[in-house]
Amino acid sequence: EKDPALRPASVSQVAVALPGGDPLAAALAAGETPSPEMVAAAGAEEQISPRFARSLLVTVVVSLMALVVLIGKAHLLAAVDSQKAPEVLRARAREILASLGMPDRPADWAADIFENDPFVEWVAENDPSLDRWSRGIARDAIDYFYRQSPTILLPAFFVGNPFPGPRVTAMDPPPSIQSGDLTMRLDGEGRLTFLSVQPRELEQDHGRSPDPDWAALFRAAGLDLNRFTPVDPSWTPSVYADTRAAWQGPHPERPGVTMRVEAAAYRGRPVSFLWLGPWSPADRDIFDLRSAAGRAADLIWNLILLALFFGGLWLVRQNLRAGRGDRRGALRLAGAVVVCELGAWVFGAHHVSSSNEFIILSNGLANAVLFGVFLWIVYVALEPFARRHWPNMLISWTRALSGRCRDPLVGRDLLIGAAGAALLEVVSDLLVRWIPVWLGSPPPAPRSPFYAVSALAAVAGAFALPVASLVGTLGVVFFLAFARRWVRVEWIAAVIVTILFSLSSLGSSAAVMVDGTLRVGLLVFVAIRFGLLAALAMDILFKALHYFVMTADPSAWYFYGGPIAIAVVLGLAIWGYRMAVPVRAVARAAA
């Protein structure tokens, strides 16, 4: 061409025009960064072997069946045998308050279920018996948190993480603001373990106060006052009180363990109750309960996130100026993150029926935009590097991001991700839980999954999981591309990234550390062998199986979580199989 503007600008453009040419290889040979469209057009278009696809689908089905069999008492709710649904526990909380002279209906309330971490850690360290998770834990392992107020409970803290919020906690909003604001905790059977009530600021009656009815608190806690001996109080209540009392006595379900009960009242009405054991920490005296290894792991992760954000800002500017950034893909990814975060906010935030809902809306929108912008920065900053130095890892991902969700390669990687997630969950359960027991070691602590107090909370958690997986998986893949570029040897890069991202399990038991390393190692292997999309699908689906409560008991109030997770994994595996192996290929294989 006589006009230079009409001539091919690069070797890769010449390769595109040649029959049978490989534009991706030509671009890499010329030292260019291939475009996202070029990466999406590269790679095999044919379907995978029907036999291989069937083996992956069978792996999913068999692993899910094995998972149901292995469930047993793998999580605390099953180990505690908690039969009372959150609605029942809420009614029980109101009954206890009425029995203590507080029958007024609140203007707002919130509830949650969580693991009593200090107790679980204490049992793991002090009870070497083989039945340590099947006896004496019902009263202390699970806490039902309930909070109510005569005014609207408006969470004040910014969410700052991908999980549903803003939510009411014991300290958000601060409990000392409103008179009548109260927090209480019950065990899984509805027995009182903690109570804190903010008394009135202005006293209405200056007459003689009645004596506190301590027996009412003991009845609410399911304890026999006659078995406890009065002692001097030593735990100060978190609210003002004019009368304090304390007792010591035996634990009703753990022989040999001495418990302490601390109570306080103001003008004859109870304002504080504490059920205390040797595992109970003085939270207001200890500001950081993390171990040295835990602090080191947190520091490493914070440094990684800071490096991704601030280093990413500089790389974004460079990539956009050079025309390397995948603006369209980054915008679609950020949009998907914002949608997921808004879904988590809609179903999981604490909403109020007042004008203050605008504040909660602003918080939710800000959190969604924060994660959308963060992922956009990370993607525009680091994706061009991976696209230039390891584009084969991004082929199916780029196709899916461009809307080609029915592509056979996309279907293959989704099927591989589902098979890897189901198999990893079974191996993880065997490695952490069953193999140590078969070798004669005490059983490890039951897992603490995401305790959804309602179906809406479960849906909110499902919306949040992809965002949490995106942050971790993109970090693994992009760091892998950098490490491979630096050390030049693929397996050395894989080892470096596996060790780096396994540091989050520092300070845990040996089994948990091995399990964490196995998860990261398998994620790295899948990313290298099949690409980013397969690794991301595996991580999301593994989290769905691992963090949602699983049970084979259909009468359990938390039963719905397990079937939903299994249906998602199995449904995505079947869909991926159908996309990877069209009906014609299946028919030919059968013939």
Q: What is the pLDDT at residue 295? A: 74
**Which band of pLDDT confidence, cut at 50, 70 and 90, is reported for residue 5?**
low
Least confident of 22-26, 209-213, 263-267: 22-26
Are residues 532 and 473 in contact, defined by beta-carbon separation less than 8 angstroms?
A: yes
Are residues 518 and 431 in contact, defined by beta-carbon separation less than 8 angstroms?
A: yes
Provide mean pLDDT across the span 322-344.
92
Neighbours of 540 (CB within 10 A): 23
Give percent of the chain with pLDDT exceeding 90.
32
Are residues 221 and 192 in contact, defined by beta-carbon separation less than 8 angstroms?
A: yes
Beta bridge partners of 447: 75
Going by C-beta distance under 8 Å and a sequence separation of 6 or more, which residues neighbour residue 415? Answer: 53, 56, 57, 60, 573, 576, 577, 580
Least confident of 214-218, 301-305, 473-477: 301-305
Least confident of 86-100, 152-166, 554-568: 152-166
Q: What's at 168, amino acid-wise?
A: V
Provide mean pLDDT across the span 321-350.
91
pLDDT exceeds cutoff 60 at 45:
no
> How far is residue 270's CA from residue 238's CA, in Å, rounded to a whole number?
13
Provide mean pLDDT across the span 528-548.
90
Give the pLDDT confidence of 117-147 residue by residue, as tens digits: 899 989 988 988 888 888 888 899 999 999 9
> How far is residue 317's CA from residue 304's CA, in Å, rounded to a whole number?
20
- The SS3 call for residue 68 is helix
Give phi and psi for 438, each to the nearest 5. Answer: -65, -25
Q: According to DSSP H, which parts of 248-326 are helical?
A: 292-306, 312-322
Q: According to DSSP H, which parts of 48-85 are helical?
A: 50-71, 76-80
**Which band of pLDDT confidence, cut at 50, 70 and 90, is reported for residue 587?**
very low
Least confident of 99-103, 197-201, 436-440, 502-506: 502-506
Give the pLDDT confidence of 182-239 residue by residue, as tens digits: 999 999 899 999 999 999 888 776 677 788 999 999 999 999 999 999 999 999 998 9
Region of 233 please: left (phi>0), alpha (psi -120 to 50) or beta: beta
Q: Calculate the alpha carbon distances from 226 to 49, 99, 274, 528, 586 in Å.
A: 73, 20, 18, 66, 74
Give the pLDDT confidence of 396-408 residue by residue, as tens digits: 999 999 888 889 9
> How far is residue 381's CA from residue 366's CA, in Å, rounded to a whole number?
22
Q: What is the pLDDT at residue 590? A: 47
**Which band of pLDDT confidence, cut at 50, 70 and 90, is reported for residue 298?**
confident
